[in-house]
Structure 1
Amino acid sequence: MTSVNALSTSWSDDEVGVMHGLRDWAMASDELNRHLSTWMGLPVSDAEALGQIVWAAQSGSPVSPALLARQMGMTSGAVSVLIDRLERAGYVTRHREGDDRRRVVVRPTATALEGTERFLGFAGAEVAAAVRETPDAELRVIRAFLERMTQAASAANTRLRDAPASTRIDA
């Protein structure tokens, strides 16, 4: 991927529009997550984690506490406390998997699945319709673009995580 100085580059109206659209989607998605937290009676971070856990389980790749910590930008200890809260609320269970039984994954309970399905049934109709109404060729272009954007953001996040403290503003 080509390196571009974001501050000195001249941006086209379409490029600016795309960046604004991504920001607007991120903000709308974040608001939906806050509504999910209210719906499920959870703090926002717990609802975000529950969404990640449900999504992972439904895609056939249950999430480990370590992966959840990375996804959430939290320490392993903080995620362990968060998972404990979700377990006490009856929304997740921990499972030991694999031949040596050392690998732990977090799975949603039937209660969590039912609650999130009811939420999506109530709140997801417009998003689902927008995706379903988008032509396949357009979806492929959007998907490829989003994959590039995710890779770029992941690379930036890795660079920021690994940056020496001396490069930070508060250093």
Structure 2
Amino acid sequence: MESLHSSFDDVARELVRVLGVNQTDRRALELILCAGEKVTTPGLLADQLGLTAAGTTIALDRLEKLGYVTRSRHPIDHRRVIVLATDLAARRVAELLSPLLDQAGKALFSHYTPAELALIVDFLTRTDELQQAHVNRMRELDPFPH
């Protein structure tokens, strides 16, 4: 698991380098891209990133300047702002990740049976749920004193 985690970190670091963003901005862009057509707001992003509203605004300013996101008024509630990834962001991320996803799909789907894949997906889903629950517990903790 440690090796897998490290390789995920390595891919994320290379995305940061090639996209010209920092880790926080990369994670924000990932969340926005994963939301797809669902409405994403700066407030939702702040919660997901564990940032303040100001920190989220700064990240979105940087992503917008690079042409990776747009912000606009919510079509129904004009007091709210929605954030969407641009075609440029989707295209660049796809160009970077598609080779990995294509290769993984071919290699893994041909190596494992559907039942084995279902078990692996279940394991990863449960592991993610445990990890998220622990993150939420840690967010409730005060920092250690200096």
CA distance in 2 between partners of 1:99 and 1:127 (Å): 41
Paired residue total:
145
* TM, length-normalised to structure 2: 0.81
For residues 99-153 of structure 1, give each alpha carbon's deviation from its aligned partner in whole angstroms, at most 9, with x where no partner exists: 2233332111111111111112344443333443343222222222222222222
CA distance in 2 between partners of 1:137 and 1:161 (Å): 36
Aligned residue for 1:30? 9
- Select which of 23, 34, 38 maps to 1:44: 23
- Select which of 95, 110, 124 maps to 1:146: 124
Aligned residue for 2:115? 137
| Residue 136 of structure 2 corresponds to residue 158 of structure 1 | yes
Q: CA deviation at 1:62?
A: 4.1
Q: Sequence identity of aligned pairs in percent?
A: 31
Aligned pair in 2 of structure 1 residues 152, 98: CA closer, same or farther (>3 Å)? farther
Aligned residue for 1:99? 76
Aligned residue for 2:103? 126
CA distance in 2 between partners of 1:122 and 1:39 (Å): 15
Aligned residue for 1:170? 145
* Higher alpha-carbon Rg: 1
Q: Which amino acid in 1 is paired with 2:127?
A: M
CA distance in 2 between partners of 1:130 and 1:74 (Å): 38
CA distance in 1 between partners of 2:66 and 2:22 (Å): 12
Contact 1:46 1:86 in 2 (8 A): yes
Aligned pair in 2 of structure 1 residues 160, 95: CA closer, same or farther (>3 Å)? same
Q: CA deviation at 1:74?
A: 2.1
Aligned pair in 2 of structure 1 residues 40, 169: CA closer, same or farther (>3 Å)? closer
- Select which of 35, 54, 65 maps to 1:88: 65
> Greater shift after overlay, 142-151 or 27-36?
142-151
Q: Which has the higher contact order (CA 8 A, sep 6+)?
A: 2
Contact 1:65 1:79 in 2 (8 A): yes
CA distance in 1 between partners of 2:122 and 2:33 (Å): 24
CA RMSD between the two structures: 2.3
CA distance in 1 between partners of 2:46 and 2:106 (Å): 32
| Structure 2 gap ranges (5+) | none
CA distance in 1 between partners of 2:50 and 2:108 (Å): 28
Contact 1:53 1:62 in 2 (8 A): no
